[in-house]
């Protein structure tokens, strides 16, 4: 039996090149979106906004929720998951009424 090995390479840019970020789809995970359409998910935790990143590759992100500042400390060294920019293979073939 012949075996076939296929390797796909997905390049994940650095987080400073991201155009959007979101927390909330999965608790304790932040999703970064890049101009190419690639999405990468990183481990994150909610922290007080005066927190400083102590390790290389850790970033502090600030947003507002209910008129209050909310901050997330994110480890951007190792993505937990990456999604490619290609189109989904299953598309809706009907129009909902």
Q: What is the pLDDT along the chain (97 residues), one digit of tens a residue?
A: 678 887 777 677 888 888 888 886 677 888 888 888 888 888 899 899 999 888 888 988 888 878 888 889 998 888 888 887 765 544 445 555 5
* Tokens found for residue 69: 């500042």
Determine the Cα–Cα distance for residues 88 and 55; give it in Å rounded to an integer: 36
Measure the N-to-C terminal CA separation of the chain; round to a whole number of Å: 50
Answer yes or no: pTM beyond 0.75: no
Q: Is residue 55 part of a domain?
A: yes
Domain of residue 55, residue span: 15-80
Q: Is residue 20 part of a domain?
A: yes
Q: How many domains does the chain have?
A: 1
Cα angle value 53/37/6 (rounded, 5°): 100
């Amino acid at each position: 039996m012949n075996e076939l090995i296929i390797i796909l390479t997905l390049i994940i840019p650095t987080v400073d090149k991201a155009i959007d970020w979101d927390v909330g789809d999965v608790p304790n995970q932040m999703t970064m979106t890049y101009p190419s359409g690639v999405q990468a998910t990183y481990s994150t935790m909610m922290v007080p906004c005066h927190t400083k990143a102590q390790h290389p590759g850790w970033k502090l992100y600030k947003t507002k929720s209910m008129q209050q500042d909310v901050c997330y400390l994110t480890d951007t060294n190792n993505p937990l998951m990456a999604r490619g920019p290609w189109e989904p293979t299953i598309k809706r073939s009907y129009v909902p009424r």
